[in-house]
Structure 1
C-alpha cells in the first residue's frame, strides 16, 4: 500500500485532491502537512475544508491526528526530521503561496521551502513519485499562442507577477539540485470553480469575469480566449498522474487546450443566462488600463464598498493575463486516457449561484492574501 504525503490539503486544489481520494476510497496511508498549533487543530483545518467540498463526515472519519504532519514550508526544518517521512512512497505537493499580491512569503515558501522539502524527499529510498503542482503560466507565454508542454524555460522571460516567477524557478532548481528525485510536474492552467459546487470551495479568480462584465469594459477583447478548468477536473488528472506506474513524460499541462478553451464572449453569454439578464455584448468596450484608472471614483458605485487601490491593482494584473489570449496544449494528459475537460461555460451557472450575495471585494480576498 502506498504512503501518500499530501501538502496543501487545507487549500483549493489540495482540498479537491483529498475530496477525490476520500470519495473513491483510494487505499493509502495518509500523511498531511498542515500549519497548526497542534495535531488536533491541523485535523480540524482539513475537516473544515472538506466541509466546503461537501465530503461526507463518515468518509472523513478515517483521518485522525495520526495522519497530521505539523509543519510549514516557510520553516521546513521544523518538520523534515519527522521519521514518518522515511516511509513515504508518493508525494503530491500542492502547497504554495498562490497570491497575486506582494506576499513576502511567496519566495520563502514556493522556492526556498519547497526546494528543502524536495531535497529531503530525494533522500527517501522508497519514494516512487514526487508530483509537484506548478502553473502553466510559469513559462511566461507569448500572446495568442498555443503553449507546448515543455520543461524548458527562457531565462530572460518576463513574468507578470512574482508567483509565476517563483513557480518557474522552483521547477528549474528541483531538476538541478535533485536529479534523483522521481519528479513529475503538473501545470494547471487557470483553475476556476468546481463543476458541481461552483465557487463554494473557493471564489478564486471567478470574480475577475464578474468584475469585467459589471464594468462593461476591460483590457481584453470579447473575442480573446482563455484556458480555464474546474478544480475537480484538475484533481482527477492529478490523481491519475499519481497512480500511473510509469509515465512517458515528466511535464503535463492540465488545461482546457485549444478545443475546450472559451472566449470572453462565450463567458458573457453564459453568465447572462445564469443571471437571467441580457449579455453585455456590443455594450462592452476594450480599453487600456489608463481608462480604468480614471474610473477610480466610480468603483464604489459599481461594486459597492471596496478598496479602490486594490481593485485597480487587480484590474491591471488580471487584465494583463486576460490579454494574453493563450491556450495550453493538453495532448499528453489526454493520451493517458484523461477525458476532455468541461468548458468553463458548462458549469459557470453553478459559479454564479454560489457567489450570489457576495461582493467582488469579498470574493477577491483569497487571491490577494
Structure 2
C-alpha cells in the first residue's frame, strides 16, 4: 500500500480548508484524497464547490461545512492545549500514513514525540478477567521498558489495564469520540493522566459522542500506528478481532494470548492462533518477532492535566457496587479458570478484603467459585 503522505508546510488558509473538507458530511478519507488529487489543494477544492464532480456518477451534491464552525473548533482545541496534525505534516506518523484511507487530520492532546517511537497495540475484552488485566499491565510495562509506546483504545478492561501499564514509559490512547468527551466516564482520571504524560488521539470533531460505527474507524488507527497488535481475551465476535483483522490487512504482526476453552472471552484469541496469529505467553515472544525498539526508554514530561468540562460521556462502564448481588456479579465477571489470589482480586475490584471474603463465601455455597490452597480462587 502506498503512502498518502507528501510532506509539505501548509499555510493557515490551507489548514482551515482541509479541516472544512474533513469535517463535512459525506467526505471521508477516500473522497478527501480524491478532491486533493483532482484540485491540487483543499483551498482550490473549496473554491470550486459546489461544482464538484467526483467519480463516474457525475456531479455529487456535497454540503461543505461552514468556515465559522471550523474556526471555532480550531480555537477550542487550542484552548484545551491540543493541536491538529495533518497528513502532510512532517511529524505525522509514517506507519499510519501507509494504511488504506489514513485519517487526513488528527486532533491530539499530549506529547506527540511518542509518535516517533515504535508502537505496540494491546487490545482485548471490556469485561476482562482480573488475571488478564494483570497480564496486560505486565506486557505494557515490559514492552514500554523496551522502548515501545503502548497504543490502545481507552475502553474498559484490557485497554484500561494496558494504558495503566504503559503510563510511565509512554502510552497513546486513540478515542472514538471528540477530544473533549471522555468515554467511558470511569476513565476520567486515566484520560487526564494520559493527556499529561502520554498522548490522546482522535479523528472526530469536538463534542462527538461515541457511537457504535465509530469504533471500527478508531480501530484502524490503533492498528495503523503499531508494528504489531497483541490481543488478550476476546470473544469470537468482538471489536478486538476487528482490530486484529485490520492489523493483518495492514501487514502488521498479530499476537494472541491463549486462554481456557471454557471461557467465552478466550475463544476469539484461541481462534486467532488457530488462523495463524503468533501464540504469545511472554513479552519475549513479541520481541523475537519485532525486535527491540531503537529508541531509548521514554521519560514522560510531566505537565498539568487539561481542565475542561466532560460533555455527556454516557453511563459509567463499571458502576460501583450498590448491593451484594452487584458485588457478586463483578467478582464472577473478574474471575476466569486461571487462579488469582484473593488479595489481588480485592485490589482489582477496589473492594476491602472483608467485603470480598463475605461475597466469596456466598458464591462458594452457590457453586459459582472454587477455592484453592494458599488463598487462591477461580471459576469452577
Give the TM-score band, short-chain normalised: under 0.3
**TM-score of the superposed pair, with normalisation by structure 2:** 0.25
Select the structure of larger CA radius of gyration.
Answer: 2
Higher relative contact order (CA 8 A, sep 6+): 1
